[in-house]
Every structure is written in C-alpha cells, then in structure tokens.
Amino acid sequence: MENIATTVDPSVTAAFALLKAHPDYRILQRLEIRSNFDAGSGGPTGIAAVIDTETTGTNQGQDKIIEVGIVRFEFEVESGRLLRIVDVYSGLEDPGFAIPPESTEIHGITDEMVSGKQLDEQRIAAIMQGVTLVIAHNASFDRPFLESRMPLFANLPWGCSLEQIPWSEEGFRGAKLEYLCWVSGFFYDAHRSEVDCRALLELLRKPLPKSGKTGLQRLLEAASEPALRLWATGSPFDTKDVLRERGYRWEATRRCWHRVVPKAVAKDESEWLKAAVYGGRAAQIEVEVLDSRLRFSGRPGPRKPRVI
C-alpha cells in the first residue's frame, strides 16, 4: 500500500504555518490517508487490528451489522509506536430488513447501498489471523455484535480505547472519538467504518499530553492486565446513589451493583466498599476475573467470593 500524495498550494502551507504558530488560533488538518507511520527502534513488533462496525441500531438482541471496517497494523511492542498498516478491509452487509431512518442519519448507509451485500468472512478471517489485540473505541458495543455474527471474534483478545485509556487523567474533557481527534489537531468524515478505524489509529499513535506515552502504549499496558468485576452483593438499598456515583452499574437479572476495575486497584476499591457501602462491617462480595479474551464480550468470567 502506498501513501496517497496530494499537492498543496504553497500559499496554503504558509498560511497554515503562520496560524499554527499564533496563540489565538487552533488549526485542524484533514486526516491523512497513509500506510507508513513512525520509524521503529528495531525492537520486537506485533500485529493488532482496529475494528469498527456500523449497525441498524443499538439493540444487540435485535439489530444487525451493516458495515465492518478493519485496519490491520504493525507496532513496536515496548514503545507503542505505530509502524505501518499492513492490510485493510471494508465491507457492507444486507441486514434483511429496512435500516431505520434514524440510523441512516448517523452513518449515511441506505437500504440501496447494502442490498444483496454480504461480509466476506474468509477475507475477515485472513486479516484477523495472528492478531494479538483487537481494538475498538467502545468495544462493549462492537464486540458482542461481531461475536454474534462471526464466532472467531470470541476467541481473540480485545482492548477498548474508550475505557482503557485514561483520557481525563491525560487532560481531555471527553472521550468521544471525534472530540479526541479535534483536540489532537485533525478531523475526518466520521461514522463510516474504515475512516473511523483510520482516525482512531492516527489518534493512538500520538503522544499523550501528560504521560508522554502514545495512546497505543497505554492501551497495550491496560489490556495486558486482567480486570476484576466487583459485585456488591447484599448492598443496602439506601447506598444505591453512592454506588451509582462511584461508577457501579445495576444488573437487573442478579439484582446487584457491580463495577469493573483494574486488578491493581481492586484492594482499594474493596476497602471503599466496606467503608462506604457496608458501614465498616465485614461483608462478602463476589469477584469476577475478566482477561482480554472475555472483557467487553458480555460473557461472564470465573467468580469467587471474597470477605472484605
């Protein structure tokens, strides 16, 4: 794959440089479509894939995938440097029913565009071969849809650039992909799968403002460590607001509040539960282990009781 060369008027280049240097202006550039990125240091490399789906809606039990975009890339393991894109797939699929107008308003995909189309499963299987991490910006949405459509995605490790990169800690005021790209100095035509993948990849290659690490490096670090879901079993009813403010979610089936935290902070979170929810008394919670092959899938991990 070759970079797409474009000719830029020298006067535009000069104006851009002038405005960029001025403290009263911020300049956005259109996302550059390219294949080669940063030079590596000669260290070990890996293969990962950024993936994005467009769907008929958000109901994972009823809605269907209508587009999949995948960008397979090579990266340097230690530094998190993005080296090059090695393959790209983009495909449409007919869901078998009319696409709701409110969905078309978001992604622009019409019934005519998908009519009679099918995803190329063999091509997708080939592009995912040897991938060490599947990355999505909101993997809790994309992963269940993809697992339902193609079981091969259930056996792959996943990472989520929305949840596993501490954007607020790095100084960002939000975590929507378009906003993060704008703040990082570029824009793109959003809500089509391939370009969303390329935009996310461009974002992940940039050093973050506070840590100086690339977004990809921070994501790789987070994805390599198991997460724990803490189930606040038997929590008093009057602590529901405290739990919600802390980031716990209500599971109606089990009638229990739960929260996923990195393994490194699980002890501190257990102590918070004991003090803020159980009134300092000894209590038994459940701990569920979620590694990258389970996390964001909706499938449960192994659970065991823990006295706090």
User: What is the reported pLDDT for 16?
Assistant: 66
pLDDT at 134 over 60: yes
Comparing CA positions, the residue from 203, 205, 222, 217 lying closest to residue 160 is 222
For residue 110, what are its two tokens?
């019409």
- 2 pLDDT higher than 50: no
pLDDT above 70 as % of the chain: 97
Give the start-to-end residue ranges of the domains of the chain: 10-224, 227-307
> Residue for token digits 């090695």?
86
pLDDT at 122 over 90: yes
pLDDT on residue 190: 74
Token pair, residue 251, equals 């599971």
Q: Give backbone dihedrals phi and psi of 76, rounded to 5 degrees, phi first.
A: -90, 125
What order do you get walking across the sheet with 134-136 strand by strand? 82-92, 65-76, 45-55, 134-136, 158-160
Token pair, residue 36, equals: 């080669």
Q: Which has the closest alpha carbon to 102: 139, 131, 63, 136?
A: 63
Does CATH number 3.30.420.10 belong to domain 10-224? yes
Do 246 and 259 meet the contact criterion of CB atoms below 8 Å apart?
yes
* Residue 295 · residue 158 · CB < 8 Å: yes
Classify the C-alpha dihedral 53-178-101-104 as positive or negative: negative
Res. 3: pLDDT tops 50: no
Q: Is the pLDDT of residue 156 over 50?
A: yes
Q: What pTM was estimated for this model as a whole?
A: 0.87
Given phi > 0 = left and psi -120 to 50 = alpha, else beta, which region is 236?
beta
